[in-house]
Amino acid sequence: EAQVTQNPRYLITVTGKKLTVTCSQNMNHEYMSWYRQDPGLGLRQIYYSMNVEVTDKGDVPEGYKVSRKEKRNFPLILESPSPNQTSLYFCASGTRGLGDTEAFFGQGTRLTVV
Amino acid sequence: KQEVTQIPAALSVPEGENLVLNCSFTDSAIYNLQWFRQDPGKGLTSLLLIQSSQREQTSGRLNASLDKSSGRSTLYIAASQPGDSATYLCAIDNYGQNFVFGPGTRLSVLP
């Protein structure tokens, strides 16, 4: 089954404690991306990757890091989380982009930073 | 910078009605447009993808149209059902690098 898998689904952490949200896709997609979704602000892109070892900033990259060492994985790293990073996070993948063919999204990770 | 808006923000209809959701965008130089459905607390599911060269796409009771010149897309849902209750998002693909989402329309279909 074609899918994008995020872990964990729910996470509560404290300010400043480094964390990683994993994302894995099984469709051999070149393109992967991270979004955060906040009430009233909608979905905003954090980072994207066009291929292995190729990453670029989206609209709201501050406070986040990513890496793309393998095609299937695209982890999101929060080196020093702060309460304003409390949000619902989505990972997505597609062929050459998210709009080239049907885009696939993970189930989301709800992060709370206290 | 591409901006996407959706009207209405929320909609409540009785079961069986036909309805139209609207999406507007500011930059007509798009690669394509995609409509998604999001259930509460869940991920997004792609419903319809319209390439920039196409005018419309259909899937079952759903029909989406695209008019690039006017910067508009509509999602038509025929014979709505309670199971259609969800938030519907349109997204513009700016040539593969950025995918800009609208704020969504929250739909409730009442039995």
Q: Residue B62: its pLDDT value, please?
A: 97
Comparing CB atoms, the residue among A50, A58, A108 nearest residue B43 is A108
Around Cβ A32, how many Cβ atoms within 10 Å?
27
Question: What pLDDT does residue A40 have?
Answer: 83
A54 touches chain B (CB under 8 A): no
Q: What is the mean pLDDT of residues A41-65?
A: 93
- Interface contact flag, A103 B95, Cβ < 8 Å: no
Do A59 and B103 lie within an 8 Å CB cutoff?
Answer: no
Confidence of residue B52 (pLDDT cuts 50, 70, 90): confident
pLDDT tens track for A2-17:
899 999 999 999 999 9
Average pLDDT for A13-29: 96
Rounded to the nearest integer, the mean pLDDT of chain B is: 92
A113/B10 Cα distance (integer angstroms): 30
Mean pLDDT over the full length of chain A: 92
Number of cross-chain residue pairs from A and B with Cβ atoms under 8 Å apart = 72
Taking any CB pair shorter than 8 Å as contact, residues of chain B touching chain A are 31-34, 36, 41-46, 49, 89, 91-93, 95-99, 101-104
Quote the Cα angle for A55-A106-A104, to 5°: 75
Let me know if A87 is exposed, middle or buried by CB neighbors in 10 A (0-12, 13-18, 19+). Answer: buried
